[in-house]
Structure 1
Amino acid sequence: MHADIHLALHADRAAELRHEARQFPLPRTSLRTRIGWTMVEVGLRLARSGPTATGAHTFRTA
């Protein structure tokens, strides 16, 4: 696909998603809740990435 066409399709889809997001606003949340969900997201990303190059050990149950 040509780069200009790809960029135009991406911009169109992004505009559609922004429009849909405005129809369903998220409720205002406390700072504690936002920090908690951010920590959950970071934890999930770390768990998905697997062991690090530093040789971190994971505990296994028998």
Structure 2
Amino acid sequence: MHPETHLALHHTRATDLRAEAAAHRLAAQARRPYAIRTRLGWTLVEVGLRLASPRPAFAH
């Protein structure tokens, strides 16, 4: 393959990959509100586990 043709194909593929990465980045930013839901959910699980576990007996 001619070097200039190879370079042109490389530039075209690189442009396509950059566009795909930008689209993926925008989609990830649109899903950000779920991160708060996930954090809140795991906090509730932690609180529930603390409430459900028995307290250690203290010696007086």
TM-score computed with the length of structure 2 as normaliser: 0.42
Greater helix share, structure number: 2
Greater relative contact order structure (CA < 8 Å, 6+ sep): 1
TM-score computed with the length of structure 1 as normaliser: 0.41
Larger Rg: 2
